[in-house]
Chain A
Amino acid sequence: MRTWRERIGRAVPRGLGKPLGVLRGKLNPMAVYRRNPSFWKETGTAYLYLLPALVILTVFIFYPFFDAFRISLFKWGLLPPRPYVGFANYTYIFHDKYFWRSLWHTFYYVIITVPVTLFLAILVASLLNKGLRFLSFSRTSFFLSYISPIVAIAMVWRWMYNANYGLLNYLLSLLNKIPFVHIQPIDWLNNPDYALPAVIILSVWHYVGYQAIILLAGMQNIEQQYYDAAKVDGATGFQAWRRVTIPLLTPQLFFVFIMSLIGSFKVFTEVNVMLMGPGPLRSAETIVYYILRSSGRIDGATQHLGRAAAASVVLFGIIFALTIFQMTVTQRKVHYQ
């Protein structure tokens, strides 16, 4: 994308254009630019092209998004009357122990899934970037886990986790051949201690390929000259990776981190399909599961759309706050080439 200076050309004398934030009125380069008739033409055309997407986003994203705030203030049913109840829905969920438990389960899931997936993705991308012989095959293989439908994956993993016949317990049992090692089969999906970890393992496996491909693309865009310079300075392979690859990969790392954080807070399908419910003793009930249950969409629960909307608003607040935090704090560490 062109900078503002490139776009306005010689309209503003050199040196007067920055810092942009302190310029006002006639000296503001944008003000000068806006007087140019071509600005309005260009802008109009741009908006025209954006319009279809904007309409779809408005109808399916922005309107429901703002409406959720409104609904959260009412005792909302499918049919009127829908009395205004103020913050009663928020009071209810804040006094509901299952809301807090589902929030805790979600944080637990996010705190482990996001960094572990990212770490493994960096590792996989770095290995792929080493110039494997079958790079495109390996890339496809890793990406396959991501493009497979999550419902199908969860069904397959249900069997892999089966306590008696599952692949995972079989692999664990092989460890018993090592002297003094004795591992009992784990009842992954039917034990409250293992249900959520089982979901975490599935999610890490599911998303690591996608993240690795994005990071690999980033790695392959790093100019060779940086590595040459590092080599001249006597850097080892690891030092070049640590001091060149990782810093110059921060834009992709930042993107993947934010997206996986947002996505992880919304975990639901993996839980619902693989555990066929919220897990034993509701041990894997996540916040989205709680929201859907409150809305009456699962488990034959009563419809409390206001409460569901209130819980959605809380989830939005959490994701929003964390994203802002990341953008202000983490982005300082992002290096662009």
Chain B
Amino acid sequence: MLRKIVVGLLGVLLLGTAAMAANEPVTIDFWHAMSSGHQPNLQALITAFQAEYPHITVTLTYQGSYSALQGKINAAVAAGNLPTMAQVYENWVTPIESILYPIGPHMTMMEVGDIVDGLVPSNTYNGVLTTVPFNKSIMVLYYNADLIATPPATWAEFYDLAKTLTVDTNGDGTIDRFGTGLRPAANPEQFLVFLDQAGGSILNADWTEVTINDAAGMAAIQFLGSLIPYTFVTSDYMSDHMAQVAMFIDTSAGYNYNKTAATNAGYALGVAMLPVGPASQSSMIQGTNLAVFDVPNQTQAQKDAAVLLARFLLRAENTVFWAMKSGYQPVTRSAYETQAWKDFVAANPYQQAMSAQMLLGFSQILHPNYGDMRTILSTKFDEIMRGATGALDGLNSMAEEIEPLLSE
């Protein structure tokens, strides 16, 4: 009996100590690249988090542009003074995945399962959900609503419309308005969208083989090749050339820029889901994730606090708040079911297509050499769309140049 009492007392003591330790004041650093427009909204979320967890203080540090943030993180890795958590792109942390503190194992099954499907692989390292999505956008179709009453629903319709809308309005022999526009060098993800919609991928599932030039890849590149005469090719943002294109694929994050530019060009901007390809209507998700760093200068209490913050930001009401204020998309499925989001979509019809498209999204692969693959895609896709090389030749060159990257 006495033994039971002693064990019970010890248990209470341990739990009490743990509870006290859990409520020890802790300060965490959160580096981000959200400029002045987004900062008050991020701060509002942090304030709400701190109200819920009064023992945690979050030091938000704006590190400048994404490029500056990447530079600071790299320097901090070398110097050994990484923050507790940071906003990161996949390519930044793939080389340092060994010092990431996995967030997934500290989340409930329900929380993990709630993340939008297309965002899970790009945050999962060696089968473990390590980072979590934060500010995400999806590629959708923007179109001149004064010219196009019904946006194209299929690749075939997209082609026909692009062809019809390519015109030389003043008869001087040069095209004044193209049916569509692409940014192959700056945004090779546009090719990946068509590739995925055709059912293809850069590599096979276990990354042992290049599959970009299989039947699906050929279908995608041949379709894009057929669009060359009707495509305005540039590295600029399409918002700089709104009058020259009738419809184009671009990220949802660019909506405000595109809308203003369309107004300036004298037309109403429409937003639609991408036309359906041979295999799917998927689109590519881009944007940053949240990483917690497992490094000696961060205590366990700090890492735990950062995980709590990551989970807090994933909550439906918070990802919805962030999406409504920032223009990014919610990152959990339950968020799309909230009344707040439904009301927001109803009030902003362009969000309808973005939301629907987001749930059909896919992300980049986490191969360590993905960055090099992207450079090859960018170079060859640009060559193809500018007519410097044939579509199939360019595709095969992509495959040849990607092949050695698998063994590096």
Contact = CB atoms under 8 A, between A and B. Distances in A.
B316 interface: no
Nearest to B172: A184
B386 A281 contact: yes
Interface stretch (B26-34, B272-280, B354-362, B369-377): B369-377
Contacts of B235: 189-190, 275-277, 279-280
Interface centre among A164, A279, A297, A303 (most CB of B within 10 A): A303
Contacts of B368: 302
Contacts of B67: 297-298
Interface in B236-252: 236-237, 240, 244
B375 A293 contact: yes
A280 B185 contact: yes
Contacts of A298: 67
B386 A301 contact: no
Nearest to A299: B375
A79 B94 CA distance: 11
A296 B386 CA distance: 26
B167 to A, nearest CB: 15
Interface string B160-203: 00000000000000000000000001100000000000000000
B379 interface: yes
Given A277-B186, A297-B67, A78 B234 contact: no
Given A79-B98, A276-B235, A296 B371 contact: yes
A137 B77 CA distance: 49
Query: Interface size class for chain A?
Result: 20 to 34
Interface string A290-309: 00010011111111000000
B148 interface: no
Nearest to B91: A300
A297 B70 CA distance: 8
B78 A302 contact: no
Contact of B372 (A190, A279, A301): A301
A77 B378 CA distance: 24
A301 B371 contact: yes
Nearest to A191: B386
B382 A79 contact: no
A320 B382 CA distance: 35
B95 A303 contact: yes
B344 interface: no
Contact of B91 (A78, A192, A276, A296): A296
A300 B185 contact: no
A302 B386 contact: no
Contacts of B372: 301-302
B89 interface: yes
A164 B375 CA distance: 29
A266 interface: no
Contacts of B89: 300
Interface in A241-276: 275-276
A282 interface: yes
Contacts of A302: 91, 95, 368-372
B369 A277 contact: no
Interface in B63-99: 67, 70-71, 74, 77-78, 89, 91, 95-96, 98-99
Contacts of A293: 375
A293 to B, nearest CB: 7
A278 B382 CA distance: 11
A78 B370 CA distance: 17
Nearest to A79: B96
Nearest to A184: B174
B397 to A, nearest CB: 12
A79 B374 contact: no
A77 B408 CA distance: 13
Interface in A78-122: 78-79, 98
B383 interface: yes
A303 B71 contact: no
B378 A299 contact: yes
Contacts of A192: 386
Contacts of A279: 235
A148 B370 CA distance: 37
B61 to A, nearest CB: 20
Given A275-B235, A276-B236, A297-B71, A78 B95 contact: yes
A80 to B, nearest CB: 10
A162 B234 CA distance: 12
